[in-house]
Amino acid sequence: MSTTLVTGGTGFIGSWVVKQLLEKGYTVRITARDKNRKDKFAHLSAIADASSGTLEVWEADLLKQGSFDEAAKGCEGIIHIASPFILDVKDAQKDLVDPAVKGTQNVLSAASKSGTVKKVVLTSSVASVHGDSVDMKDQNLSEFTEEQWNTTSTLTHQPYSFSKVQAEKSAWKIADAQSDWKLVVINPAFVLGPTLIESSSSESLKVMRDMLKGKFRTGAAELYFGFVDVRDVAKAHVLALESDTAEGRHIISERVMNFLDMANVIGAEFPGKYKLPKSLAPKFMMYLMGWAFGATIKFVKQNIGYPIKLNSTKSREALGLEYIKVEDTIKDMVNQMEDMNMVR
């Protein structure tokens, strides 16, 4: 896979994928809507200059049919990361579902037309494995594995999760209808860790900033997520690209925690420095105040107070992924945010 196309290569996850590939000597092609906007990928150009790999920039647009065709020609692999991660949207179909689904169809069509691509690694999400936390209880499961699919998210309820389901299902449908290339899917949990982008608008950074600024100091929602380091998510993509045996879906999660657990990790690493929650907020308070955090009554009802478990055994055994402990992830992330004056 010496020449690999990475879509979304300038983003939070994508930048780490590109960095790891460049440092291994790959020729990495990234895409931009306007390649003259060199400020968007200057950090990657600097990494390329200091590595044994080569960076190429091609123009493409997720919603423009055929725009990835030229960039894919001559590539042995494609890592498709580009997809909007926005939690507060006005038009979910236009802002989330269309770019996720049509973009995936566009990129996979380019893979088929290339005549050279042998593997596509797709960034999906655990949001495509499950929707609401109560799903585990309702489905009589002891844990979520790669066998499960999110059946409860819709265009109006958890639309981001819905977009990931639709995009991944579309990818598998396309992959199963051809034999030129193999599809491997990465399903990360909530991604934390240091960024390579100075002006990142990542939702992960927003959540951490809110936590550090005391937004949750009166009480943390008993909301459970899998958490994983962005560097491990990137490594999972590279391992999947290089493995001869990798197949199917892969849940990528170091551990499951709620927001109070996360606050306790921050408090242990940075004692007395931030106004962190000391207890869980009662669920009835979330019904009353959830709107202030963008949570609907339905979301509160079906997610607050329901523990989940994510089985990431496949990522450890099939990909050989060794996880960075979440304590180190959070410490590195907060230290960097302090250094970059991102906590105000």
pLDDT in tens, 232-263: 999 999 999 999 999 999 999 999 999 999 99
The single-letter code of the amino acid at 69 is D
Q: What is the pLDDT of residue 27?
A: 97
Q: Is 260 helix (H, G, I), strand (E, B) or coil?
A: helix
24 Cβ contact list (under 8 Å, min separation 6):
52, 53, 238
Confidence grade of residue 201 (pLDDT, cut at 50, 70, 90): low
Q: Which residue has tokens 């069509």? A: 109
Q: Which range (6-20, 43-57, 180-194, 209-223) has the least confidence?
A: 209-223
In degrees, to the nearest 5, what angle opens at C-alpha 93 toward C-alphas 29 and 16?
30
Q: Is 334 helix (H, G, I), strand (E, B) or coil?
A: helix
Q: How far is CA 254 from CA 67, 227, 229, 230, 314, in A?
A: 36, 6, 8, 11, 12
Q: Which residue has tokens 């934390």? A: 192
Confidence grade of residue 204 (pLDDT, cut at 50, 70, 90): confident
Domains (range + CATH), the chain: 3-339 (3.40.50.720)
Q: Which range (91-95, 101-105, 200-204, 222-226) has the least confidence?
A: 200-204
**Across the chain, what does the average pLDDT equal?**
93
Confidence grade of residue 200 (pLDDT, cut at 50, 70, 90): low
338 Cβ contact list (under 8 Å, min separation 6):
none
| pTM exceeding the 0.85 threshold for the entire prediction | yes
